[in-house]
């Protein structure tokens, strides 16, 4: 059984290393520019990706001193899903809450979540910088939509989510280190 864990952690380590450091640095520069212009980082996902969004928003705000938010409050989410349809709640949330100096980070393990895709379309329509994190098929719809697109070659939800969390939190820690 110990082989399972050795193989599992090796897989995660190998998947983490595929990200281009230039992409992480570019995302960091976009975040710094948004912050310098008085904007905030809006991070959205579903399920495990929503948990990643919450964790990242807290760390950007508290640890890196960069305002960040997510739309994970249950009353807000269920109201918007009820009134506009689940596939449209993200775009409507951006319409109501995003401002011209903000940026958007959208996370979808499959890259095919309709509410996240529609949110990406709205972010582009609003001319907001857009970062995407996805996995599964390399040809997923979300992967083609962002200014920077981080993709993990895996169809295992936990692997995709662990790597997404590592990548986004590495940006938080990079910005903390850079600004100290």
**Domain residue limits, the chain:** 2-178
Contact in structure between 114 and 87 (CB atoms under 8 Å): yes
CB atoms within 10 A of CB 49: 26
87-99: burial string, b at 16+ Cβ within 10 Å, e else? ebbbbbbbeeebe
> Is the predicted pLDDT of residue 2 greater than 80, yes or no?
no
- Helices and strands (H and E) in the chain: how many: 7, 5
Residue 111: what pLDDT? 98
Residue 1: what pLDDT? 65
> Is the predicted pLDDT of residue 132 greater than 70, yes or no?
yes
Q: What value does the mean pLDDT take over residues 111-129?
A: 98
**Percent of the residues in the chain that have a pLDDT greater than 90, as a whole number:** 98
pLDDT tens-digit profile of 69-84?
A: 999 999 999 999 999 9
| Token representation of residue 90 | 């993200």
pLDDT tens-digit profile of 4-51?
A: 999 999 999 999 999 999 999 999 999 999 999 999 999 999 999 999
Contact in structure between 124 and 130 (CB atoms under 8 Å): yes
Question: Which CATH class, in words, describes the domain spanning 2-178?
Answer: alpha beta
**Percent of the residues in the chain that have a pLDDT greater than 70, as a whole number:** 99
For residue 179, what pLDDT band results from cuts at 50, 70 and 90?
confident
Phi, psi angles (nearest 5°) of residue 41: -95, 120
| Mean pLDDT over the full length of the chain | 97
Residue 180: what pLDDT? 82
Report the candidate in 138, 128, 167, 153 with the shortest Cα–Cα distance to residue 20.
167
The rounded distance, in Å, linking the Cα atoms of 98 and 117 is 16
């Amino acid at each position: 059984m110990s082989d399972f864990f050795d193989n599992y952690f090796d897989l995660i380590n190998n998947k983490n290393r595929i990200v281009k450091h230039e992409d992480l640095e570019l995302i960091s520069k976009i975040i710094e520019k948004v912050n310098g212009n008085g904007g905030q980082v809006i991070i959205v996902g579903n399920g495990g990706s929503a948990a990643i969004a919450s964790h990242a928003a807290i760390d950007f705000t508290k640890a890196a001193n960069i305002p960040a938010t997510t739309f994970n409050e249950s009353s807000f989410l269920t109201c918007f899903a009820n009134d506009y349809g689940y596939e449209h709640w993200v775009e409507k949330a951006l319409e109501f809450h995003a401002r011209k100096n903000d940026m958007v980070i959208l996370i979808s393990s499959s890259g095919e979540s309709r509410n996240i895709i529609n949110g990406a379309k709205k972010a582009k329509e609003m001319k907001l910088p857009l970062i995407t994190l996805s996995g599964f098929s390399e040809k997923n719809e979300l992967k083609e939509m962002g200014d920077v697109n981080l993709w993990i070659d895996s169809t295992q939800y936990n692997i995709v989510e662990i790597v997404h969390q590592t990548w986004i939190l590495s940006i938080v820690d990079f910005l903390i280190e850079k600004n100290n």
